[in-house]
Homo-oligomer: A and B are copies of this chain.
Amino acid sequence: MKQYLDTYKNELLDQVIPFWQDHSLDKRYGGYFTCLDQKGQVYDTDKFVWLQARQVWLFSMLCKKVDLKPDWLNMARKGAHFLKNNGRDVAGNFYFSLNQAGEPLVQPYNIFSDCFAAMAFSALYKVDPQEEFARLAVNTFENILSRRSNPKGKYNKAFPGTRNLKSFALPMILSNLTLEMESLLGKDLVKELVPGVIHEVMEVFLDSNSGLVLENVLEDGSFCDSFEGRLTSPGHAIEAMWFMLDLSHRFGDHILRDRAIETGLRTLEYGWDSEYGGIYYFMDCKGHPPDKLEWNQKLWWVHLECLVFLAKAFQMTGDPVCMSWFEKVHEYTWTHFKDPDYPEWFGYLDRYGKVQLPLKGGKWKGCFHVPRGLFQVWQTLGQL
Protein backbone atom coordinates (compact mmCIF):
# COMPACT_ATOMS: atom_id res chain seq x y z
CA MET A 1 0.00 0.00 0.00
CA LYS A 2 2.74 2.45 0.94
CA GLN A 3 3.85 2.70 -2.67
CA TYR A 4 0.76 4.86 -3.33
CA LEU A 5 1.77 7.55 -0.83
CA ASP A 6 3.62 9.84 -3.21
CA THR A 7 0.92 9.54 -5.85
CA TYR A 8 -1.66 10.99 -3.47
CA LYS A 9 0.66 13.57 -1.94
CA ASN A 10 1.94 14.89 -5.26
CA GLU A 11 -1.47 15.02 -6.88
CA LEU A 12 -2.71 17.09 -3.95
CA LEU A 13 0.18 19.51 -3.64
CA ASP A 14 1.30 19.84 -7.26
CA GLN A 15 -1.98 19.60 -9.17
CA VAL A 16 -5.19 20.04 -7.22
CA ILE A 17 -4.34 22.76 -4.71
CA PRO A 18 -2.62 24.96 -7.35
CA PHE A 19 -5.73 24.59 -9.57
CA TRP A 20 -7.94 26.17 -6.90
CA GLN A 21 -5.33 28.79 -6.06
CA ASP A 22 -5.03 29.77 -9.71
CA HIS A 23 -8.69 29.83 -10.66
CA SER A 24 -11.11 30.14 -7.78
CA LEU A 25 -10.33 33.33 -5.86
CA ASP A 26 -12.67 36.24 -6.62
CA LYS A 27 -10.28 39.16 -6.37
CA ARG A 28 -13.11 41.67 -6.61
CA TYR A 29 -15.59 40.56 -3.95
CA GLY A 30 -13.70 37.88 -2.02
CA GLY A 31 -14.99 34.35 -1.70
CA TYR A 32 -14.48 31.75 -4.39
CA PHE A 33 -15.70 30.92 -7.84
CA THR A 34 -16.48 27.22 -7.91
CA CYS A 35 -18.11 26.92 -11.34
CA LEU A 36 -14.93 26.18 -13.27
CA ASP A 37 -14.75 24.40 -16.61
CA GLN A 38 -12.25 21.75 -17.66
CA LYS A 39 -9.42 24.30 -17.95
CA GLY A 40 -10.43 26.28 -14.89
CA GLN A 41 -12.30 29.13 -16.60
CA VAL A 42 -15.23 30.57 -14.64
CA TYR A 43 -18.58 29.80 -16.29
CA ASP A 44 -20.88 30.99 -13.49
CA THR A 45 -20.24 33.44 -10.66
CA ASP A 46 -22.84 32.41 -8.08
CA LYS A 47 -21.46 31.41 -4.71
CA PHE A 48 -22.79 28.30 -3.02
CA VAL A 49 -22.31 28.48 0.72
CA TRP A 50 -21.51 24.77 1.21
CA LEU A 51 -18.62 25.11 -1.20
CA GLN A 52 -17.42 28.48 0.11
CA ALA A 53 -17.24 27.05 3.62
CA ARG A 54 -15.66 23.78 2.55
CA GLN A 55 -12.87 25.60 0.74
CA VAL A 56 -12.17 27.77 3.82
CA TRP A 57 -11.98 24.54 5.83
CA LEU A 58 -9.70 22.83 3.31
CA PHE A 59 -7.08 25.58 3.14
CA SER A 60 -7.21 26.11 6.92
CA MET A 61 -6.77 22.38 7.47
CA LEU A 62 -3.74 22.30 5.15
CA CYS A 63 -2.22 25.21 7.07
CA LYS A 64 -2.66 23.30 10.32
CA LYS A 65 -1.65 19.84 9.16
CA VAL A 66 0.78 20.33 6.28
CA ASP A 67 2.41 23.75 6.35
CA LEU A 68 1.40 27.24 7.47
CA LYS A 69 1.95 28.74 4.03
CA PRO A 70 0.96 32.42 3.75
CA ASP A 71 -0.73 31.76 0.39
CA TRP A 72 -2.89 29.03 1.84
CA LEU A 73 -3.81 31.11 4.88
CA ASN A 74 -4.66 34.03 2.61
CA MET A 75 -6.97 31.79 0.54
CA ALA A 76 -8.78 30.63 3.69
CA ARG A 77 -9.15 34.16 5.02
CA LYS A 78 -10.58 35.53 1.76
CA GLY A 79 -13.37 33.00 1.89
CA ALA A 80 -13.95 33.38 5.62
CA HIS A 81 -14.35 37.16 5.41
CA PHE A 82 -16.76 36.84 2.52
CA LEU A 83 -18.82 34.28 4.46
CA LYS A 84 -18.71 36.28 7.69
CA ASN A 85 -19.89 39.44 5.93
CA ASN A 86 -22.49 37.94 3.63
CA GLY A 87 -23.33 34.37 4.59
CA ARG A 88 -25.93 34.74 7.35
CA ASP A 89 -29.49 35.97 7.75
CA VAL A 90 -30.45 38.08 10.77
CA ALA A 91 -31.08 34.96 12.86
CA GLY A 92 -27.58 33.68 12.13
CA ASN A 93 -28.61 30.93 9.72
CA PHE A 94 -26.35 30.49 6.71
CA TYR A 95 -27.94 30.96 3.30
CA PHE A 96 -27.72 28.26 0.65
CA SER A 97 -26.35 30.58 -2.03
CA LEU A 98 -25.29 34.14 -2.78
CA ASN A 99 -24.57 36.05 -5.94
CA GLN A 100 -21.03 37.09 -6.81
CA ALA A 101 -21.29 40.28 -4.74
CA GLY A 102 -22.56 38.33 -1.74
CA GLU A 103 -26.25 39.22 -1.87
CA PRO A 104 -28.49 36.33 -0.75
CA LEU A 105 -30.11 34.23 -3.46
CA VAL A 106 -31.44 31.11 -1.74
CA GLN A 107 -32.71 31.04 1.82
CA PRO A 108 -31.31 28.82 4.62
CA TYR A 109 -33.68 26.00 3.75
CA ASN A 110 -31.63 23.36 5.45
CA ILE A 111 -28.89 23.07 8.02
CA PHE A 112 -25.92 21.93 5.96
CA SER A 113 -24.59 25.38 5.06
CA ASP A 114 -24.35 25.93 8.82
CA CYS A 115 -22.55 22.61 9.37
CA PHE A 116 -19.87 23.46 6.83
CA ALA A 117 -19.60 27.05 8.08
CA ALA A 118 -19.01 25.86 11.65
CA MET A 119 -16.35 23.46 10.34
CA ALA A 120 -14.74 26.29 8.35
CA PHE A 121 -14.48 28.89 11.12
CA SER A 122 -13.36 26.29 13.61
CA ALA A 123 -10.53 25.14 11.33
CA LEU A 124 -9.48 28.70 10.55
CA TYR A 125 -9.39 29.56 14.25
CA LYS A 126 -6.78 26.84 14.77
CA VAL A 127 -4.32 28.66 12.50
CA ASP A 128 -5.59 32.24 12.86
CA PRO A 129 -6.83 32.42 16.44
CA GLN A 130 -9.10 35.44 16.24
CA GLU A 131 -11.91 35.39 18.78
CA GLU A 132 -14.60 36.17 16.21
CA PHE A 133 -13.83 32.97 14.28
CA ALA A 134 -14.20 30.89 17.44
CA ARG A 135 -17.41 32.70 18.35
CA LEU A 136 -18.88 32.21 14.88
CA ALA A 137 -17.99 28.52 14.91
CA VAL A 138 -19.45 27.87 18.35
CA ASN A 139 -22.58 29.98 17.82
CA THR A 140 -23.24 28.25 14.53
CA PHE A 141 -22.74 24.84 16.12
CA GLU A 142 -25.23 25.74 18.88
CA ASN A 143 -27.68 26.94 16.26
CA ILE A 144 -27.36 23.60 14.45
CA LEU A 145 -28.14 21.71 17.65
CA SER A 146 -31.18 23.90 18.28
CA ARG A 147 -32.48 23.29 14.74
CA ARG A 148 -31.87 19.53 14.82
CA SER A 149 -35.46 18.48 15.33
CA ASN A 150 -36.70 20.42 12.29
CA PRO A 151 -33.64 21.28 10.19
CA LYS A 152 -35.65 22.54 7.22
CA GLY A 153 -37.83 24.85 9.32
CA LYS A 154 -40.69 26.41 7.40
CA TYR A 155 -39.33 24.98 4.15
CA ASN A 156 -40.19 21.46 5.30
CA LYS A 157 -42.73 20.20 2.76
CA ALA A 158 -43.70 17.06 4.67
CA PHE A 159 -47.24 17.11 6.06
CA PRO A 160 -46.77 16.72 9.82
CA GLY A 161 -47.88 13.44 11.31
CA THR A 162 -48.54 11.15 8.37
CA ARG A 163 -44.99 9.97 7.86
CA ASN A 164 -42.38 11.75 9.90
CA LEU A 165 -39.00 10.84 8.48
CA LYS A 166 -35.56 11.77 9.69
CA SER A 167 -32.52 11.94 7.45
CA PHE A 168 -29.14 10.25 7.77
CA ALA A 169 -27.27 13.34 6.62
CA LEU A 170 -27.47 15.15 9.96
CA PRO A 171 -26.09 12.48 12.36
CA MET A 172 -23.53 11.65 9.70
CA ILE A 173 -22.23 15.20 9.46
CA LEU A 174 -22.35 15.67 13.21
CA SER A 175 -20.17 12.59 13.67
CA ASN A 176 -17.44 14.36 11.72
CA LEU A 177 -18.11 17.94 12.84
CA THR A 178 -18.05 17.12 16.55
CA LEU A 179 -14.54 15.67 16.32
CA GLU A 180 -13.40 18.49 14.02
CA MET A 181 -14.53 21.05 16.60
CA GLU A 182 -13.41 19.18 19.72
CA SER A 183 -10.82 21.77 20.74
CA LEU A 184 -13.47 24.51 20.64
CA LEU A 185 -16.40 22.57 22.05
CA GLY A 186 -14.44 20.96 24.83
CA LYS A 187 -13.98 17.30 25.69
CA ASP A 188 -17.04 17.17 27.94
CA LEU A 189 -19.51 18.31 25.31
CA VAL A 190 -17.95 15.97 22.74
CA LYS A 191 -18.17 13.02 25.14
CA GLU A 192 -21.78 13.92 25.78
CA LEU A 193 -22.73 14.23 22.09
CA VAL A 194 -20.74 11.44 20.44
CA PRO A 195 -22.49 8.36 21.87
CA GLY A 196 -25.85 9.62 20.61
CA VAL A 197 -24.46 10.31 17.17
CA ILE A 198 -22.79 6.88 16.94
CA HIS A 199 -26.04 5.28 18.08
CA GLU A 200 -28.00 7.07 15.34
CA VAL A 201 -25.54 6.01 12.64
CA MET A 202 -24.83 2.43 13.72
CA GLU A 203 -28.11 1.39 15.34
CA VAL A 204 -30.84 3.54 13.85
CA PHE A 205 -29.89 4.21 10.23
CA LEU A 206 -27.90 0.99 9.80
CA ASP A 207 -30.79 -1.34 9.04
CA SER A 208 -30.37 -4.68 10.80
CA ASN A 209 -32.36 -6.57 8.17
CA SER A 210 -30.44 -5.55 5.08
CA GLY A 211 -27.16 -4.57 6.74
CA LEU A 212 -27.33 -1.33 4.73
CA VAL A 213 -27.36 2.26 5.89
CA LEU A 214 -30.65 3.92 4.93
CA GLU A 215 -30.95 7.57 3.93
CA ASN A 216 -34.26 8.05 5.77
CA VAL A 217 -36.07 6.26 8.57
CA LEU A 218 -39.24 7.00 10.53
CA GLU A 219 -38.89 9.13 13.65
CA ASP A 220 -38.97 6.03 15.86
CA GLY A 221 -36.15 4.52 13.81
CA SER A 222 -38.25 1.98 11.94
CA PHE A 223 -38.11 1.20 8.25
CA CYS A 224 -40.48 3.10 5.96
CA ASP A 225 -41.43 1.28 2.77
CA SER A 226 -41.47 4.31 0.44
CA PHE A 227 -39.13 5.92 -2.11
CA GLU A 228 -37.38 7.89 0.66
CA GLY A 229 -37.33 4.99 3.10
CA ARG A 230 -35.89 2.48 0.63
CA LEU A 231 -33.19 4.88 -0.56
CA THR A 232 -29.53 4.07 0.06
CA SER A 233 -26.47 6.00 -1.05
CA PRO A 234 -23.45 3.70 -0.85
CA GLY A 235 -21.00 6.61 -0.99
CA HIS A 236 -22.75 8.37 1.85
CA ALA A 237 -22.71 5.23 3.97
CA ILE A 238 -19.04 4.48 3.28
CA GLU A 239 -18.04 8.09 4.03
CA ALA A 240 -19.88 7.79 7.36
CA MET A 241 -17.92 4.62 8.11
CA TRP A 242 -14.61 6.46 7.98
CA PHE A 243 -16.06 9.05 10.33
CA MET A 244 -16.86 6.07 12.59
CA LEU A 245 -13.28 4.82 12.22
CA ASP A 246 -12.00 8.24 13.34
CA LEU A 247 -14.31 8.11 16.35
CA SER A 248 -13.26 4.54 17.15
CA HIS A 249 -9.63 5.70 17.10
CA ARG A 250 -10.35 8.75 19.25
CA PHE A 251 -12.20 6.72 21.87
CA GLY A 252 -10.28 3.45 21.53
CA ASP A 253 -13.43 1.57 20.60
CA HIS A 254 -12.45 -1.62 18.77
CA ILE A 255 -15.99 -2.91 18.55
CA LEU A 256 -17.06 0.24 16.71
CA ARG A 257 -14.01 -0.08 14.46
CA ASP A 258 -14.80 -3.63 13.46
CA ARG A 259 -18.48 -2.93 12.87
CA ALA A 260 -17.66 0.13 10.76
CA ILE A 261 -15.23 -1.85 8.60
CA GLU A 262 -17.69 -4.70 8.18
CA THR A 263 -20.47 -2.26 7.24
CA GLY A 264 -18.31 -0.30 4.84
CA LEU A 265 -17.12 -3.43 3.04
CA ARG A 266 -20.65 -4.84 2.85
CA THR A 267 -21.87 -1.54 1.38
CA LEU A 268 -19.05 -1.45 -1.13
CA GLU A 269 -19.81 -4.97 -2.34
CA TYR A 270 -23.47 -4.03 -2.62
CA GLY A 271 -22.85 -0.72 -4.40
CA TRP A 272 -20.11 -1.85 -6.80
CA ASP A 273 -21.17 -2.12 -10.45
CA SER A 274 -19.80 -5.53 -11.35
CA GLU A 275 -20.44 -4.95 -15.04
CA TYR A 276 -18.85 -1.55 -15.68
CA GLY A 277 -16.97 -0.88 -12.45
CA GLY A 278 -17.43 2.03 -10.08
CA ILE A 279 -19.91 2.60 -7.28
CA TYR A 280 -23.56 3.52 -7.93
CA TYR A 281 -24.83 6.83 -6.61
CA PHE A 282 -28.25 5.71 -5.31
CA MET A 283 -29.96 2.34 -4.91
CA ASP A 284 -33.31 1.11 -3.64
CA CYS A 285 -32.69 -1.36 -0.81
CA LYS A 286 -35.54 -3.58 -2.03
CA GLY A 287 -34.35 -3.49 -5.61
CA HIS A 288 -37.21 -1.32 -6.89
CA PRO A 289 -36.56 1.52 -9.35
CA PRO A 290 -35.27 4.52 -7.39
CA ASP A 291 -36.90 7.89 -8.12
CA LYS A 292 -33.48 9.47 -8.75
CA LEU A 293 -32.73 9.54 -12.49
CA GLU A 294 -29.00 9.85 -11.77
CA TRP A 295 -28.98 6.69 -9.65
CA ASN A 296 -26.47 4.72 -11.75
CA GLN A 297 -23.99 7.52 -12.37
CA LYS A 298 -20.49 7.38 -10.94
CA LEU A 299 -19.61 10.44 -8.85
CA TRP A 300 -16.14 11.56 -7.83
CA TRP A 301 -16.83 12.05 -4.13
CA VAL A 302 -18.22 8.56 -3.68
CA HIS A 303 -14.97 7.04 -4.92
CA LEU A 304 -12.69 9.36 -2.98
CA GLU A 305 -14.56 8.76 0.27
CA CYS A 306 -14.35 5.04 -0.38
CA LEU A 307 -10.56 5.23 -0.83
CA VAL A 308 -10.26 7.08 2.49
CA PHE A 309 -12.36 4.42 4.19
CA LEU A 310 -10.31 1.57 2.73
CA ALA A 311 -6.96 3.18 3.54
CA LYS A 312 -8.00 3.77 7.15
CA ALA A 313 -9.50 0.29 7.48
CA PHE A 314 -6.29 -1.28 6.17
CA GLN A 315 -4.06 0.91 8.34
CA MET A 316 -6.05 -0.08 11.44
CA THR A 317 -6.27 -3.81 10.77
CA GLY A 318 -3.93 -4.87 7.96
CA ASP A 319 -6.84 -6.81 6.49
CA PRO A 320 -5.87 -7.94 2.95
CA VAL A 321 -9.52 -7.63 1.85
CA CYS A 322 -9.24 -3.88 2.48
CA MET A 323 -6.01 -3.75 0.48
CA SER A 324 -7.39 -5.56 -2.54
CA TRP A 325 -10.51 -3.40 -2.54
CA PHE A 326 -8.31 -0.31 -2.21
CA GLU A 327 -6.35 -1.35 -5.28
CA LYS A 328 -9.50 -2.01 -7.27
CA VAL A 329 -11.17 1.29 -6.34
CA HIS A 330 -7.88 3.19 -6.79
CA GLU A 331 -7.51 1.80 -10.30
CA TYR A 332 -11.07 2.74 -11.31
CA THR A 333 -10.87 6.17 -9.70
CA TRP A 334 -7.55 7.29 -11.13
CA THR A 335 -8.23 6.05 -14.65
CA HIS A 336 -11.75 7.54 -14.82
CA PHE A 337 -11.91 10.69 -12.70
CA LYS A 338 -8.45 12.20 -13.09
CA ASP A 339 -8.31 14.45 -16.15
CA PRO A 340 -5.20 13.47 -18.16
CA ASP A 341 -5.07 16.86 -19.88
CA TYR A 342 -5.72 19.53 -17.23
CA PRO A 343 -5.46 19.70 -13.45
CA GLU A 344 -8.27 18.66 -11.04
CA TRP A 345 -10.66 15.79 -11.56
CA PHE A 346 -13.89 15.19 -13.38
CA GLY A 347 -16.93 14.82 -11.14
CA TYR A 348 -19.66 13.17 -13.12
CA LEU A 349 -19.43 9.98 -15.17
CA ASP A 350 -22.28 7.98 -16.61
CA ARG A 351 -22.71 4.34 -15.70
CA TYR A 352 -20.19 3.31 -18.36
CA GLY A 353 -17.48 5.57 -16.98
CA LYS A 354 -17.71 8.23 -19.69
CA VAL A 355 -17.39 11.86 -18.56
CA GLN A 356 -20.79 13.45 -18.91
CA LEU A 357 -20.16 16.88 -17.46
CA PRO A 358 -16.64 18.13 -18.20
CA LEU A 359 -16.63 20.64 -15.34
CA LYS A 360 -14.02 20.74 -12.58
CA GLY A 361 -16.35 22.58 -10.25
CA GLY A 362 -20.01 23.56 -10.16
CA LYS A 363 -22.94 24.00 -7.84
CA TRP A 364 -22.03 20.92 -5.81
CA LYS A 365 -18.39 20.15 -6.66
CA GLY A 366 -15.79 22.46 -5.18
CA CYS A 367 -12.45 22.39 -3.43
CA PHE A 368 -13.31 19.63 -0.99
CA HIS A 369 -13.70 15.91 -1.71
CA VAL A 370 -10.76 15.56 -4.12
CA PRO A 371 -8.19 17.39 -1.96
CA ARG A 372 -9.58 16.04 1.34
CA GLY A 373 -9.54 12.51 -0.03
CA LEU A 374 -6.01 12.84 -1.38
CA PHE A 375 -4.85 14.31 1.92
CA GLN A 376 -6.52 11.63 4.04
CA VAL A 377 -5.11 8.76 2.01
CA TRP A 378 -1.63 10.31 1.96
CA GLN A 379 -1.64 10.79 5.75
CA THR A 380 -3.09 7.36 6.42
CA LEU A 381 -0.54 5.59 4.24
CA GLY A 382 2.16 7.58 6.07
CA GLN A 383 1.15 5.82 9.28
CA LEU A 384 1.77 2.33 7.86
Contact = CB atoms under 8 A, between A and B. Distances in A.
A273 interface: no
A291 B48 CA distance: 13
B159 A105 contact: yes
Per assembly, the copies of the chain total 2
Contact of A107 (B99, B157, B296): B157
A23 interface: no
Given A163-B99, A293-B294, A350-B350, A157 B155 contact: yes
A94 interface: no
A40 B350 CA distance: 28
A227 to B, nearest CB: 6
Interface in A150-202: 154-155, 157-159, 162-163
Interface stretch (A68-76, A305-313, A356-364): A356-364
Nearest to A106: B157
A46 B225 CA distance: 10
A92 interface: no
Given A107-B158, A154-B154, A294 B294 contact: yes
A323 to B, nearest CB: 32
A103 interface: yes
A289 interface: yes
Contact of A106 (B103, B155, B159, B364): B159
A297 interface: yes
Contacts of A293: 293-294, 297, 348, 356-357
8 contacts: A43-B289, A44-B226, A103-B159, A104-B159, A105-B163, A107-B157, A289-B358, A293-B357
